[in-house]
Structure 1
Amino acid sequence: MNISKKEKYTIITPKSNSVNEFYTQLEGKLNSLKEEHLIIDFSENLNIKIEEIALFLKLSEVHKQNGTSFVLIYDNLDIDDLPEELIVVPTITEAEDTIDMEAIERDLGF
């Protein structure tokens, strides 16, 4: 997995095509990233199933409890089939916008 720290967030891109393998690797590193806003970039992966994306729901919930954002980038699925608590956007620009909006919501107490 590639980890790239930006000013406002950390972007993580899987190296392998196995979502399950990537999820296991990410869980192992999550403790050191728990205070970071995370963007998981699946834009290069072409055949991810909804069940595989749903694996990240638990990690997303943990991040929200820590007061940080957790956003997935993937544009090849129907967003209505995903749990509401999981944020999946099609582009990096939308992921950055989501992080900014969530920061505003946290500042306002939502």
Structure 2
Amino acid sequence: MIFTKEGSLIIVSQEEISIERFLEKLENEYAKLKNENLILDLLSFSELTPYNVISFLEIARKHKENEQSFVLVSDKVSYDDIPEEINLVPTLQEARDIIEMEEIERDLGI
């Protein structure tokens, strides 16, 4: 796993592993990441299904309960095919924008 800190967020990307192994590593590292806004960069996975994305639902729920942003980035799955609880966008810039908007909402108490 590759962790890239950018201001108030961390981008998590992978090194030639399966989506299942990526999720397993993320779960193992989660205690260190739970207080950070997270972007999971899934763009390098050549094959990704809605099922793969839904497998991140439990972590997404935990992260939101901790009042932190959690965004997945992939252009291979439509956000129409996954639960609304998961933020899924096609680009890293859109993920950054979502986190910025959510931080503003939290600051305003919305």
Number of residue pairs the alignment of both structures matches: 110
Map Cα deviations across residues 78-110 of structure 1 (whole Å, 9 max, x no partner).
211100000000111100000011111212223
Q: How does 1:37-52 map to 2 (within 5 A)?
A: 37-52=37-52
Q: Which amino acid aligns with 1:6?
A: E
Would the aligned equivalents of 1:39 and 1:70 in 2 still touch at CA under 8 Å? yes
Structure 2 unaligned spans of 5+ = none
1:60 aligns with 2:81: no
Equivalence for 1:5: 5
CA distance in 1, matches of 2:91, 2:31: 26
Residue 46 of structure 1 and its aligned partner are, at CA, apart by 1.9
Q: Which amino acid aligns with 2:47?
A: N
| Runs of 4+, deviation exceeding 3 Å | none
Would the aligned equivalents of 1:16 and 1:22 in 2 still touch at CA under 8 Å? no
Q: How does 1:1-110 map to 2 (within 5 A)?
A: 1-110=1-110
CA distance in 2, matches of 1:16, 1:31: 23
Residue 17 of structure 1 and its aligned partner are, at CA, apart by 3.8
State the identity %: 39
Would the aligned equivalents of 1:38 and 1:69 in 2 still touch at CA under 8 Å? yes
Return the TM-score normalized by structure 2.
Answer: 0.95
